[in-house]
Chains A and B, each alone.
Chain A
Amino acid sequence: MLQFDHVSMRYPAAGDVLRNVSFHLERGEMAFLTGHSGAGKSTLFKLIAVIERCSRGQVLLDGENLNQVKDRRIPFIRRKVGLIFQDYKLLQDRTVFDNVALPLVIAGYGHHEVARRVRAALDKVGLKNKEKKYPAVLSGGEQQRVGIARAVVNKPPLIVADEPTGNLDPELSAEIMHLFEQFQQVGVTVLIASHDISLITQMNHRILKLDHGQLVAS
């Protein structure tokens, strides 16, 4: 599903951020990505979302070389990747429903289909009765669930989460991680960056460890 093949990333100012990183996530696999701040986790995610392109090597998503895709194709690649952020990145002036509906509206789904899928996604993350609320009145854990619902509503084959529990307490963090496991169980590939070593070692999934841009454990 997702393959990194001798990937290096060099920024003119910061030097090598990723060095010769290679790994392969199978379809339906769940993995954690860990490492100190500045180890290159964010850069790795930027390569998956085609926000950046790597300097050397290649990133393959669903068999497609992300280094060579045309700019016009980038939106369609992003529709295959459900992105989840530490700061949730919700639109504060839209309701929970509208936030979750955004990817479907963008993909051109009809009104009824949008409503049906949004409600299903909100039900899945346990926010069925909050669809008319605005993000500002929700707790951190609830906002992150909205972010997750938005990431999965379009049913992407890959979910990528950057420190999804970074702002949450341990109990909520565990709940969120179990939510990701449920997606994995229906065949979605999941990659989660996390600092929370104790939590992720409990969960018994593959762990990728980055150290100064190099993959030191896989």
Chain B
Amino acid sequence: MKRVNRKENKQERWQTKRAGGDFVDKLYAYRNLHAHALFSSLGRLVASRFSSAMTIVVLAIAISLSSGFYILVANLQQLAGNLEASNQISLFLKDEVSEARANKFADSIRKNPDIQDVKLITKEQALAEFQAYSGFSEAVKALKKNPLPAVIQVLPKNAFENEQALEVLLDDFKRTAEVDFAQMDMQWVKRLQSIMELARRGVTLLSLLLGIGVLFITANTIRLELHNRRDEVVIAKLVGATNGFICRPFLYSGFWIGFFSGVMAWFIVTIIMLFLKQSVENLSRLYDDSFHLLFLGFAETLSLLFISSVLGILGSWIVLHFQLRQLKPE
């Protein structure tokens, strides 16, 4: 009996020692576990550099496609954004309409309560403006007669947002005797903007698809890694590893794969943009330098890296969620 008691005492001491290690020590240990998983997964990526490189290149191409289209649309939008869409209508007056009659006509339009502003540009003003801005001043001087028509610029009230009402107004002007030709100045801008909207949606959809692709490519890579390290996982489980402990290095692997793909995609996009930069600037110079190529900015680069890392983590999480349960120790 006495002997049994002694055994129990020893057992108790044994147990208290088991709980050893103070809180700070454990906190450090937890941090070390993460650091270890972070760097060991990086190490494994480097160790199998050929297959890692192949995966990362494929992912980088997918990611650079969607970010490339994104930056393309952003550039086009910048181009379209310089042109403010307004409802301004230009009335080109017939050649025989005198300046006095044009003034009278402009006054009559001004009285219309739907009209916000009216501006008459006489033939002479138009010519002066043309000479100043077009660069054809010498050629114009050579002309015997002013070829430019007088123009009345009509700005309807803002309430006139309705496209159809504008059309009616435009048709009314077209039927007026003084008017040779009437057009809505910015109609093409609106069309361009609709096209841009369509392109933006297209890019969003494409990015979504490519993102799903990235997700599943990562998932498959992690699945292979999980398969290769099956023994390790099973042994870790047998000696009491939680799923969290087992998942951690794989999640970090997913993170690294996503992160490096993002970095590589950034380089792909940037190199392509640098490649295009010269020709775009040449083109822009021909159009009085109003356009400059947009590159991936700081915030965009950050979100590119963030999204690709998250996709990597998510991809490996999917696999771990569905496959870890099947890895039972035998």
Contact = CB atoms under 8 A, between A and B. Distances in A.
19 contacts: A27-B11, A28-B7, A28-B8, A75-B240, A77-B240, A78-B239, A89-B234, A102-B236, A107-B240, A108-B26, A110-B25, A110-B29, A111-B29, A112-B25, A113-B20, A150-B239, A155-B15, A157-B14, A187-B14
A37 to B, nearest CB: 16
Contacts of B240: 75-79, 103, 106-107, 154
Interface string B17-42: 11011000110111011000000000
Given A51-B329, A91-B231, A155-B18, A106 B236 contact: yes
Interface of B: 4, 7-8, 10-11, 14-15, 17-18, 20-21, 25-26, 28-30, 32-33, 231-232, 234-243, 245, 328-330
A150 B239 CA distance: 9
A51 B234 CA distance: 11
Contacts of B17: 155
A89 B239 CA distance: 11
Given A110-B28, A154-B239, 11 more contacts: A28-B8, A75-B242, A75-B243, A89-B231, A89-B238, A102-B235, A110-B25, A111-B28, A155-B15, A155-B18, A188-B11
A23 interface: no
A78 B241 CA distance: 8
- The CB with the most chain B CB atoms within 10 A, among A51, A113, A187, is that of A187
B241 A75 contact: yes
A83 B18 contact: no
Given A109-B29, A111-B29, A113-B20, A83 B10 contact: no
A153 B170 CA distance: 90
A27 B8 contact: yes
By size class, the interface of chain A is 20 to 34
Interface string A90-122: 110000000000110111111111000000000
Contacts of B237: 75, 78
Among all A-B residue pairs, the 3 with the closest Cβ atoms: A110-B25, A187-B11, A79-B240
Contact of B239 (A106, A111, A157): A106
Contacts of A49: 238, 329
Interface in A173-218: 186-188
A113 B239 contact: no
Contact of A105 (B4, B21, B33, B235): B33
Nearest to B12: A187
B328 A108 contact: no
A115 B18 CA distance: 15
Contacts of B231: 89, 91
A98 to B, nearest CB: 11
A45 B207 CA distance: 51
A186 B17 CA distance: 13
B11 A157 contact: yes
Interface in A29-75: 49, 51, 72, 75
